[in-house]
A and B are shown apart, each in its own frame.
Chain A
Amino acid sequence: MTANAAAENGHSMRVMIVGAGIAGMQAALDIANSGYQVVLVDRLPSIGGHMHQLSETFPTLDCAQCILTPRTVDVGRHEKIKLHVYSEVEEIRGEMGDFRVRIRRKPAYVKWDICTGCGECTEKCPQSIPVEFDRHLELAKVMRSGKVRLEGTGKAIYTLSPQAVPKKPVIDVDYCTYFQRGKCRLCEKVCPVGAIDYEQQAAWFEERVGVIILATGFELYPLEKLGEYGGGQVPDVVDALAMERLLSASGPTAGIMRRPSDGREPKEVVWIQCAGSRDPELAMPYCSKLCCMYSAKQALLYKHKVHEGQAYVFYIDIRSAGKRYEEFIQRTMEEDRVLYVRGKVSKVFRENGKVMVWGVDTLTGLPVEVAADLVVVSPAMVPSEGTQRMADMLGLNVDEFGWWTEAEGNLAPLETSQPGIFLAGAGIGPKDIPEAVWQGSGAAGKALSLLSCWGEPKSPDDLSP
């Protein structure tokens, strides 16, 4: 069938991908490189998803940013990929071949079309705030008076990272001094091109697509709900993604190991596995699958930074099924001398500047107490916010935990119950980077099978639906 024939039977030859994490980006590139149009939507101001937050990847210890950035740049510059960032899908009507999508773009309060991404606004913004990208970390800062204050790691006008694609800032109105108190407008003064627009409103876009891929990803179960581990009230108890930021060379401490409460180098660090996962009482009986690997990786990276430091990992079982995964765990234990304690932690609390960890070693049957400087919790992975809303919108099913339900778990793991809608990535269930990439390519293949039946790709300069 030719493009004309496709147009005749009314099929849109474009694919919308929801979620620009590593799975969504892979799908986008595979489809776009075949010559078809992609509409890529993400709720954050820039693409890359959670992988963007990571320090290194297991088991190869590649720098995550270094291998990801070429990918994000490829996506950002691809002539066949249209980005809708800082945006959310509000409504989807129609069916395979003819989905009508309404997308709401949140106001950035910056005119992105003229912003050059110079970063002057962020540099000069006087308001330090805790940001989602750094897991709302607050780090100790010594004030001029000598007092120590906890301060957020971002600014009220920010881009997610120096390598962000697109590298355009947004204003967080909940923290911006001007929006909160009516005074400041410093970013407006320093912007060399006059891109700041405090009056900017949300904008709506209509897109027509033939196929949809849902790569909506995951979140971590909030520390606030894990009361036994301090309930998010102890600054030196952080979740695993926060630890990635603390380890990352492009993170808020530039990769130097410091603990949040006082900026000191932590000498005793405890990792707590299965925090919420494998816990039927919290209604999350499933295994989050990645924690064993990333905890080993983090403990190893910590030991590489703090040679005399002691790392403890409390675990139930070690689940390291994957190519070169078990070898990596062994290396962590044997070469890097990370101490593995088989047992659960019952309680974490502050005492005399330490974070006390009470647990049990089930191999000796004895209680264990560690006076730690820093505790890293591996919370359960949960479906990203909005997955349920998306499911309702499309008439799709999620399981009792909120993960996408595949059409058939064995032989149709990327299909949904609706024709023309496919799944990829950790929105289906916990998944590591290679698996998410496989699925991104898989879903792209599914989409391309349909598109190639409908017709040939349009020419690159034709961006019409």
Chain B
Amino acid sequence: MKISYFPGCTLNTTGKGFDNAVRASAAAVGLDLVELPEWNCCGATYPLIIDNMLELAAPAHILVAARDEGSTVTTACTTCYNVLKRTNRFIREHEEERERINTFIEAEYSGEVEVKDILHLLRDDVGFDVVQEKVQRPLQDLKVASYYGCMVLRPPDEVAYDDPDHPQSLDDLMAALGATPVDFAHKNECCGAYLAVKDPAVTQEMVYTILKSAQAAGAEAVATNCPLCQFNLDKQQAEMRRSHAGYQPVPIFYFSQLMGLALGLDARDYGWERHYVDVLPLLRERGFWNGMTDDS
């Protein structure tokens, strides 16, 4: 199955490992991700002011490029997904504004493309049962807490393909990979997002609440689908021992990293070195360490 793929800036830079793992894992389960020949920034946030069409020009431009390549476009960056999905809907539903955007970007577009998050594609178009069949090295007994953040869940009627209060898709994927999903109350809580820049102390407390709850539920690792969540959950832990005595850090994975490992793929370029909390000891200790990655 060929699908247009929009990597976005994060997956092209700091999240390159996430990107590599997504492309390789998708290919291994029969999903041929074809990067859009030309793409630009998605705009990074969906505008909250309704009369500023300019902010929709960038995502609209991407959607036009995607339309020229096929009927569906996917992305693994949850923020890009949120912006593209909502922009597409806005263009579909607002005729007058659509005209203005089209005039500005010199295109004829009315929302024909389907924007689908990569996890959504894996769940509904590939099927987790198919993923399960392809697993070579199951993540036996690995207790994983799945963390969704907000971008694929809110606002529910615009972007959610899962229950916004009790999301399940990542948990189901982890189960398909042979891991043991750990349910916890804060899988959809805010990670602090951009507050990390303005007020790291607040972000740290938010992250602490999330990770403490996951660990209390028995999690040895956290899997997430959001680059910003991964960054916040991972980085905040470095300082956490100072504010919370006795805190034990927990590795924060991109779901695709675990997927690649379980599928037995070459995981050398999955960006392991970028993790703030070293994930390798856990993988080595539990025997999920694939020999090919031993040079790091």
Give A contacts to B, CB under 8 Å.
227-228, 231, 233, 347, 349-351, 356
Considering the complex, give the chain B residue whose CB is closest to the CB of A233: B166
Selected contact of B213 from candidates A228, A231, A233, A351, CB within 8 Å = A351
Considering the complex, give the chain B residue whose CB is closest to the CB of A225: B165
Asked whether A227 lies within 8 Å of B165 as measured between CB atoms, the reply is: yes
Asked whether B185 lies within 8 Å of A228 as measured between CB atoms, the reply is: no
Considering the complex, give the chain B residue whose CB is closest to the CB of A230: B165
Asked whether B213 lies within 8 Å of A227 as measured between CB atoms, the reply is: no
Give per-residue flags for B200-216: 1 if the beta carbon is below 8 A from chain A beta carbons, else 0.
00000000000001001
Give per-residue flags for B153-164: 1 if the beta carbon is below 8 A from chain A beta carbons, else 0.
000000000011
Give per-residue flags for B204-230: 1 if the beta carbon is below 8 A from chain A beta carbons, else 0.
000000000100100000000000000
The list of the 9 closest CB pairs from A to B, nearest first, reads A227-B165, A349-B185, A228-B165, A227-B166, A231-B165, A231-B166, A227-B163, A351-B185, A227-B164
- Can you list 11 A-B contacts with CB-CB less than 8 angstroms, sorted by A residue number? A227-B163, A227-B164, A228-B165, A231-B165, A347-B189, A349-B185, A350-B185, A351-B185, A351-B213, A351-B216, A356-B185
CB of B187, distance to nearest CB on chain A (Å): 10
Considering the complex, give the chain B residue whose CB is closest to the CB of A227: B165
Per the 8 Å Cβ criterion, residues 166-214 of B in contact with A are: 166, 185-186, 189, 213
Chain A residues whose C-beta falls within 8 Å of the C-beta of B186 in the assembled complex: 349
Considering the complex, give the chain B residue whose CB is closest to the CB of A348: B185
Interface residues on B, range: under 10
Chain A residues whose C-beta falls within 8 Å of the C-beta of B164 in the assembled complex: 227
Main secondary structure of the interface of B (DSSP, over half): loop
Considering the complex, give the chain A residue whose CB is closest to the CB of B185: A349
CB of A5, distance to nearest CB on chain B (Å): 60
CA distance A336 to B213 in the complex (A): 35
CB of B24, distance to nearest CB on chain A (Å): 35
CA distance A285 to B152 in the complex (A): 26
CA distance A233 to B166 in the complex (A): 10
CA distance A434 to B104 in the complex (A): 62
Chain A residues whose C-beta falls within 8 Å of the C-beta of B163 in the assembled complex: 227
Give B contacts to A, CB under 8 Å.
163-166, 185-186, 189, 213, 216
Chain B residues whose C-beta falls within 8 Å of the C-beta of A228 in the assembled complex: 165
Chain A residues whose C-beta falls within 8 Å of the C-beta of B165 in the assembled complex: 227-228, 231
Chain B residues whose C-beta falls within 8 Å of the C-beta of A231 in the assembled complex: 165-166
For B164, B166, B185, which residue has the most chain A Cβ atoms within 10 angstroms?
Answer: B185
Chain A residues whose C-beta falls within 8 Å of the C-beta of B216 in the assembled complex: 351
CB of B265, distance to nearest CB on chain A (Å): 36
Considering the complex, give the chain A residue whose CB is closest to the CB of B155: A281
CA distance A231 to B183 in the complex (A): 15
Chain A residues whose C-beta falls within 8 Å of the C-beta of B189 in the assembled complex: 347
CA distance A442 to B165 in the complex (A): 44
Considering the complex, give the chain A residue whose CB is closest to the CB of B186: A349
Chain B residues whose C-beta falls within 8 Å of the C-beta of A351 in the assembled complex: 185, 213, 216
Chain B residues whose C-beta falls within 8 Å of the C-beta of A356 in the assembled complex: 185
CA distance A318 to B130 in the complex (A): 54
CB of A443, distance to nearest CB on chain B (Å): 39
Chain B residues whose C-beta falls within 8 Å of the C-beta of A233 in the assembled complex: 166
CA distance A233 to B168 in the complex (A): 15
CA distance A70 to B204 in the complex (A): 62
CB of A377, distance to nearest CB on chain B (Å): 14
CB of A275, distance to nearest CB on chain B (Å): 13
Considering the complex, give the chain A residue whose CB is closest to the CB of B189: A347
CA distance A129 to B180 in the complex (A): 32
Considering the complex, give the chain B residue whose CB is closest to the CB of A226: B165
CA distance A227 to B164 in the complex (A): 8
CA distance A233 to B163 in the complex (A): 14
Chain A residues whose C-beta falls within 8 Å of the C-beta of B213 in the assembled complex: 351
CA distance A356 to B185 in the complex (A): 10
CA distance A231 to B216 in the complex (A): 22
CA distance A233 to B189 in the complex (A): 18
CB of A244, distance to nearest CB on chain B (Å): 26
For B163, B164, B166, which residue has the most chain A Cβ atoms within 10 angstroms?
Answer: B166
CA distance A383 to B260 in the complex (A): 51
Chain B residues whose C-beta falls within 8 Å of the C-beta of A347 in the assembled complex: 189
CA distance A349 to B186 in the complex (A): 9
CB of A231, distance to nearest CB on chain B (Å): 6
Considering the complex, give the chain A residue whose CB is closest to the CB of B164: A227
Chain B residues whose C-beta falls within 8 Å of the C-beta of A227 in the assembled complex: 163-166
CA distance A350 to B216 in the complex (A): 12
Considering the complex, give the chain A residue whose CB is closest to the CB of B213: A351
CB of A229, distance to nearest CB on chain B (Å): 9
CB of A355, distance to nearest CB on chain B (Å): 11
CA distance A349 to B165 in the complex (A): 11
CA distance A231 to B165 in the complex (A): 8
CA distance A351 to B186 in the complex (A): 11
CB of B163, distance to nearest CB on chain A (Å): 6
CA distance A233 to B185 in the complex (A): 12
CA distance A80 to B166 in the complex (A): 53
Chain A residues whose C-beta falls within 8 Å of the C-beta of B185 in the assembled complex: 349-351, 356
CA distance A227 to B166 in the complex (A): 7
CB of B184, distance to nearest CB on chain A (Å): 9
Considering the complex, give the chain B residue whose CB is closest to the CB of A229: B165
CA distance A159 to B5 in the complex (A): 61
CB of B28, distance to nearest CB on chain A (Å): 34
CA distance A320 to B189 in the complex (A): 35
Considering the complex, give the chain A residue whose CB is closest to the CB of B167: A227
CB of A206, distance to nearest CB on chain B (Å): 46
CB of B104, distance to nearest CB on chain A (Å): 31
Considering the complex, give the chain A residue whose CB is closest to the CB of B163: A227
CA distance A40 to B192 in the complex (A): 58
CA distance A356 to B184 in the complex (A): 13
CB of B57, distance to nearest CB on chain A (Å): 29
CA distance A231 to B185 in the complex (A): 12
CA distance A76 to B135 in the complex (A): 67
Considering the complex, give the chain B residue whose CB is closest to the CB of A349: B185
Considering the complex, give the chain B residue whose CB is closest to the CB of A350: B185
CA distance A351 to B166 in the complex (A): 16
CA distance A349 to B185 in the complex (A): 6
CB of B153, distance to nearest CB on chain A (Å): 10
Considering the complex, give the chain A residue whose CB is closest to the CB of B217: A351
CB of B260, distance to nearest CB on chain A (Å): 32
Considering the complex, give the chain B residue whose CB is closest to the CB of A352: B216
CA distance A231 to B168 in the complex (A): 14
Chain B residues whose C-beta falls within 8 Å of the C-beta of A349 in the assembled complex: 185-186
CB of A199, distance to nearest CB on chain B (Å): 43
Chain B residues whose C-beta falls within 8 Å of the C-beta of A350 in the assembled complex: 185
For B164, B165, B186, which residue has the most chain A Cβ atoms within 10 angstroms?
Answer: B165
CA distance A345 to B53 in the complex (A): 35
CA distance A233 to B165 in the complex (A): 12
